[in-house]
Amino acid sequence: MSQWYPKKGRVIFHVDMNSFYASVEMAYDPKLKGKPLAIAGNPEERKGIVVTSSYEARAKGVKTTMQLWEARKLCPELIVLRPNFDRYRTASKEMFQMLADITPYVQPVSIDEGYMDVTGTEKHGSPIEIAQNLQQKISDELDLPCSIGIAPNKFLAKMASDMKKPMGITILRKRDISEKLWPLKIEEMYGVGNKTAEKLRSIDVNTIGDLANGDAYQLKQIFGINGERLQNRANGVDMRPVDPDAVHEFKSIGSSQTLAEDTTDEAEIRKLIHQLAENVERRMKRKQAVGQSVQIMIRYHDRKTITRSRKLSHFIEQKADILYFANELFRKHWNLEPIRLLGITVQDVDKKRNMAKQLDLFTYEKEAGKEKLYEAIDELSQKYGKNPFKQLRNDDREEQPRTSFQKDFLDDFKK
């Protein structure tokens, strides 16, 4: 069995549930199987937005972020349901527990996908046997389909899992990248968004192969350190470990400034708060990030410093939102003594592409028309076997859309 495992390298899985929300609903109600199904925040309203859809609906042209009236025009028989977040949490927890039964090195990255480092797990079989058994177990016990990418690192495993859906298992070795990876269009590369793809095309980088073999100096001039990182990934280089604790890593984006003189002048203070909020918004946009907490720091004339924060029920990125909560915190906690320094920080920050599936559906519908932040909200498919969702049937309620998943939820399978 050891011949299947590298002596020095790693064997990484990326497990990606197929059309997740729709598939969970089909597992819960088998009568939905084989039918075109969409999950949307406001099924009763024409302006509702499609969050995800079954493969049967996709075959009729229904897409994520599409308005419901348009989806129904393409597919008149479309069945539309509100999301049931408790049901999806239950499915996700069960799925991640199955991954953890194989190896402790499991890193959830969202409700429906995660990485596994199966290096050294020979007792469970070869990598392909482990993947086949895991895929079958998830299908048999949860009645949910998934795709699994097998590779020597996280980036290649992620790319591999996207190559065959639903219910695919794809191996992507470094020696295969020139044949399997490089011919793909540059926008198909994980980590390359629309704006980055546009910039790359402007310098004749049209495929992943073009990026892999491109001018390293030019890439770094245009994209900074990210240019080097993207080129490394295109060449199959990714040293990131599978980190079970990564779900608890929180980042922040902030701005602070010392005033020219200690002051109690509210006009001057308000002006500075506006400037700080604008700085934070600009930095968040540059990082393509959203956050869920706002913190204000006040340093007084005697150097006494306080920090106060508020956890929000939704994610923010706009200056208006940052300003609103920063002003609220300032009004509540300023003791009217002269101020020397002010700071505003947005905490619990992550990349939009990572947080897309966690955004409150009201925010989703508001923002979906502006950007493709929510393209990632596409997950899990069909089949009926053991049904772990029946226990929720008596408790089922028509809840208003709300924030679905926080990062700490992704650790529940360990409890």
pLDDT tens-digit profile of 47-79? 577 889 999 999 999 998 788 899 999 999 999
16 is in an annotated binding site: yes
pLDDT given at position 404: 35
Strands (E), 245-338: 251-263, 289-300, 305-316
Domains 1-174+380-415 and 182-234 are alike in CATH topology: no
**Could you report the per-residue pLDDT of 337-347, keeping only the tens digit for each?**
999 999 999 98
Which residue, chain included where needed, has tokens 């006009």? Answer: 267
pLDDT given at position 101: 96
Phi, psi (degrees; rounded to nearest 5) at 52? -160, 165
pLDDT given at position 5: 60
Residue with the bigger pLDDT between 161 and 2: it is 161
Which contacts (CB < 8 Å, 24+ apart) does range 265-270 have? 269/330, 269/339, 269/342, 270/327
pLDDT given at position 112: 93
**CATH 1.10.150.20 corresponds to the domain 182-234:** yes
Cα–Cα distance for residue pair 392/327, rounded to 1 Å: 41
Domain ranges of the chain: 1-174+380-415, 182-234, 250-352
Q: Is 337 a catalytic residue?
A: no
Pairing of β 169-171 and β 146-151: parallel
Asked if pLDDT for residue 358 goes beyond 90, the answer is no
pLDDT given at position 295: 95
**Burial of residue 88, with CB atoms counted within 10 A of its CB: 0-12 exposed, 13-18 middle, 19 or more buried:** buried
Q: Tell me the pLDDT band of 182, cut-offs 50, 70 and 90.
A: very high
112 is in an annotated binding site: yes
Average pLDDT, the chain: 84
CATH of segment(s) 250-352: 3.30.1490.100
**Could you report the per-residue pLDDT of 227-242, keeping only the tens digit for each?**
999 999 999 999 999 9
Catalytic residue among 113, 281, 317, 365: 113
Following CA atoms 378, 384, 386, 388 in sequence, which dihedral angle do they give, to the nearest 10 degrees? Answer: 40
Asked if pLDDT for residue 163 goes beyond 80, the answer is yes
Residues in Cβ contact with 231 at an 8 Å cutoff, skipping those fewer than 6 apart:
211, 212, 214, 216, 219
pLDDT given at position 100: 96
Helix 216-223 crosses helix 194-202 at what angle (to 10 degrees)? 130
Which residue, chain included where needed, has tokens 């509702």? Answer: 48
**Could you report the per-residue pLDDT of 103-144, keeping only the tens digit for each?**
999 999 989 999 999 998 888 899 999 999 999 999 999 999
CATH of segment(s) 1-174+380-415: 3.30.70.270
pLDDT given at position 355: 53
- Rounded to two decimals, the pTM is 0.65
